[in-house]
Structure 1
Amino acid sequence: MGGYYGMAVLVGVALLLKTGQCDAGCRGRDGQPGALGAPGRDGYPGAKGEKGEPAMMNDGPVDADVLRRLKGEPGSRGPSGEPGPKGFRGHLGRAGIAGGRGLPGPEGKSISQSGQHLPQQGRSAFSVIRNNIRYPPFNQVVTFQTAVVNTLQDFNLASGYFVCRVPGVYYFTFNSAAKVSMCLRIASDALTDKLGFCDYNRNSDQVLSGGVVLSLTAGQKVWLESFLDLQKDSETRDTREKLITFNGFLLF
């Protein structure tokens, strides 16, 4: 029985070897690649490494406090940036509490003609009158006969000059009434140009007026002048009454 079984095995092996032989033309197809396997799980984190050695200097280890105090050289300043847009105006805040009333100031003083201080500061004023049949000479200072007001004697009737003694802002004005043409101008060393005014005869009384506000310092002068414009020679020889008033006073 055992011998028969062995013989059968040999016959089978022989047949297998015979049928397994094949030439190059009977090659089989390549197999398909297998699918990727699923990724494996992350490994466990490793153990923490040992602390490194401290820095060393030529003369020993570095002090941590010294390192914190060390500062490098400053760099060069960078260019200025573009200015930003203007911001919106903020809301007006609430009014603050009113302050207390201040103490009264000292009493003012003015200077009289004699140079003494008087308790009437800012009361410099004058009003003078010229009533004459003679036509005022051209390019000369107009003089006056009567002073209605001359508080500090700042106006000199004989010379026709007002001399400022109390510096400040003054108002000057003049008026004239005549039956002939008249040209008058306000002049002052506080003015670059003189201010001229004219009125011409139209067979009736001529009324002329002019005025100016001037800021004067002590010693500056103001006066009135007559000047030639379009007047006729016959008008300058007129002997009828001619009235001129000149006024001035300190505003502040």
Structure 2
Amino acid sequence: MSDRHSNIAGARVLVIGASSGIGHALAKAAHARGARVALAARRIHLLSELAEQLDGAAYELDVSDPRAIEQVVDAVAAEFGQLDAVVFTSAVVPFALIEETDVTTWLHAYAVNAVGASHVLRAALPHLADDAVTLVASSHDVGRPRAGVAAYHASKAALDEILRSWRAEHPELAVIRVSVGPTDGTEILRGADRDLLADLYRSWAQEGQIPSKMSAVNDVADAMLSLIAVSRANPSVVSDIVHLAPRTGTSR
């Protein structure tokens, strides 16, 4: 692509959470657009297969482990020299009613969804190239919580506040919070109790919280990549908060 507002050819991109869902689709799309990609996620067996397809490197990473984050970011920076973009899509979504959500579950949700994302930024900071971009996936439902996912929504709300602090203390950085709405082709329901999900779906339907159509995962991934291109092409501005919600009237 020759248009500078879509061109990411040659960009050195670290995708965290690339083993499935949006991160997986984004890594593939970035490679197709000519970017160099490094992939990190917890499920290394899935990641290694993708890395082989994309001529990239795979790194096993549990983002609840700060030392592991530092080791992976440092290794990728050593391979690339610098980072032009860091994309964080990792998330844990524990499904449980709030009175049944134990302390371990709360802490793990915060460790992955909020503190983990912030520590990635902290580790990447010395390695960011001029006009580098950091995309962090959040939730479109922050402030409108659904039943059964309190720890997820609360940790994403904490993430949003953390990113505001990053922008306040580092206004020179392009830190973009991408608020993602319901998206098809993700593994958000992986491992959830089916009976509980059935009850939750009925509750969400009664509250009007289930859209008639979800966004396509490849469209979300491509839109996020375009944010990187636009930000790098226009370094004096930043789209600090972007909402990607399903366009339910489309025929696709």
TM-score norm. by structure 2 comes to: 0.21
In terms of Rg, which structure is larger?
1
Relative contact order higher in (CA < 8 Å, ≥ 6 apart): 2
TM-score norm. by structure 1 comes to: 0.21
Structure with the higher strand share, 1 or 2:
1
